[in-house]
Amino acid sequence: MTLRPAQGPDAARRPGAAPGALPSEDPADLDRQNPETEIAARAEAFRNWGRWGEDDVLGTLNFIDADKRRRAAALVRDGVSISLSQRFDTDGPQKGWRRRTNPVHTMTDTGTDAERGNQGFPHGIGGADDVIAMPLQCSTQWDGLGHIFDHGYAWNGRRAGDVVTSDGDLVTGIEHAADVIVSRGVLLDLGRHLAPDTRELADGYAITVGDLEACADAEGVEIERGDIVLVRTGHYTRAHREGWGDYAGGPAPGLSLTTAGWLHRTEIAAIATDTWGFEVRPNEFDVPAFQPLHQVVIPNMGLTIGEMWNLDALASHCAAAGRWQFLLSAPPLPITGAVGSPVNPVALL
């Protein structure tokens, strides 16, 4: 199938759809036997190819501008700084799927070496050094625009093989976002909003547009262009308490495929969740399907996605303060040609 840019905002969306019709935002309307059609309808409807020019490498991160950052900086009132990262160590969620392992930390020089004087330094000075080996997407991380393809096409309509080769992402490498991802952050605590008793959504719960909008209303926030939206489901909370189990790749709450239109029309810059895969798992079809929302929003919409973020401390602080917006600094490591990056996001309130 050849993908083509939609011809304006009201281009035909799906076979048999009325002119100007958008795909339904009601999960009950999904044809659960036909992921191909449901994905294609949303890919065409919400495609941003060419929106920022044929040479664009940032996608929706273009929505963050200097004025957006100035206004976000004004949200820092109390000087509170909260890390939103998991720890990077061997006690992580990965189980080896597609060679994803947990970080391996190795010391190359130690205090023992210094005590024994075998490091070769003069006048008694000693030191310690270390190395870490890890997949770039094994813990708290960003998915770059070269991470997912749709029928052999990457972000902005480029052929996937022209973008990512054995030399890395030659076009949209994560290094391009190194000084970009600083903006207003908004926490939508869906766990707290939808499950006030446990503050944790059940595995397999598909978060809808109605859920997102109702949570924002309850928190008194309005999602704006250029925001980085953080969605807390409580899945990380449960895994941290009970053990990782199938956190990496197993059943989880997450966004429904039907939220694609909301992700597009709100013009958010990026979104991150406390789950392994951002979208609901199992995915919403009765036949084999794998990460259909990824397939729509990364290569077609140009949306940057964060996963496995630890949002618990932020959620507690926001609930106590009654404030759900903040300055968020979450730059990736500028690893040349990478299709993802570890990140230590920091919320400042």
pTM score: 0.92
Measured CA to CA, the distance from residue 53 to residue 274 in angstroms comes to 32
Mean pLDDT of 286-313: 98
User: Quick one: pLDDT band at residue 3, thresholds 50, 70, 90?
Assistant: very low
Query: Tens digit of pLDDT for each residue in 205-235?
Result: 999 999 999 999 999 999 999 999 999 999 9
Residue 11: is its pLDDT beyond 70? no
Query: Tens digit of pLDDT for each residue in 32-87?
Result: 999 999 999 999 999 999 999 999 999 999 999 999 999 999 999 999 999 999 99
Which domains are present in the chain?
37-92+136-348 (3.50.30.50), 103-133 (no CATH)
Query: Tens digit of pLDDT for each residue in 191-208?
Result: 999 999 999 999 999 999
Residue 15: is its pLDDT beyond 70? no
- Residues with Cβ within 8 Å of 339's Cβ and at least 6 positions away in sequence, in order, are 136, 143, 144, 145, 146, 147, 164, 168, 169, 173, 174
Quote the mean pLDDT of the chain.
93
Q: Which range has the worst mean pLDDT, 122-131, 181-190, 281-290?
A: 122-131
Residue 345: count other Cβ atoms within 10 Å of its Cβ: 24
Per-residue pLDDT, 16: 33
Left, alpha or beta for 200 (phi > 0: left; psi -120 to 50: alpha)?
beta
Measured CA to CA, the distance from residue 247 to residue 293 in angstroms comes to 19
